[in-house]
């Protein structure tokens, strides 16, 4: 079955440590996204990528980094520079990044990061 796989599902980290969240999709989607969700808030865009070896900052990119070396993979690194990293992280993909119906997002199950 096609879909998006995120790992790990739960992650605990000490302050000052970097952590990398994995996101893999086998939907043959061109675009991939990382969102962050905090309690009582909507999803906020961290980074997105429309094509391999290219990515753009979203609305809250500070303290995060990404890479897109393969179409299927879009890992997110939460660095020690991120001031408040405890959150629910969601990876998504879509056929393209334009306006219109083709921009429907498919989400992974999410990774819940807690900084101790």
Pick the piece of the chain touching other proteins (CB under 8 A) from 15-23, 37-45, 62-70, 77-85. Answer: 37-45
Residue 35: is it exposed, middle or buried by C-beta count within 10 angstroms (0-12/13-18/19+)? buried
- Considering beta carbons, is residue 16 or 84 the nearer one to other proteins? 84
Task: Candidates 24, 25, 35, 113: give the one binding other proteins (CB under 8 A).
Answer: 35
Euclidean distance between CA atoms 51 and 37, whole angstroms? 24
Q: 3-state class of 19 per DSSP?
A: strand
Rule CB under 8 A: which residues touch other proteins?
35, 40-45, 48, 58, 88, 90, 97-101, 103-110, 112
């Amino acid at each position: 079955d096609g879909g998006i796989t995120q790992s790990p599902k739960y992650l605990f980290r000490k302050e000052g440590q970097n952590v990398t969240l994995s996101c893999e999709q086998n939907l043959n989607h061109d675009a991939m996204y990382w969102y962050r969700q905090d309690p009582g808030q909507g999803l906020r865009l961290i980074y997105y990528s429309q094509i391999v070896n290219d990515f753009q900052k979203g609305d809250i990119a500070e303290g995060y980094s990404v890479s897109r070396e393969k179409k299927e993979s879009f890992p997110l690194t939460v660095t020690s520079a991120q001031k408040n990293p405890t959150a629910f992280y969601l990876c998504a993909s879509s056929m393209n990044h334009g306006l219109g119906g083709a921009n429907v997002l498919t989400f992974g199950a999410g990774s819940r990061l807690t900084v101790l």
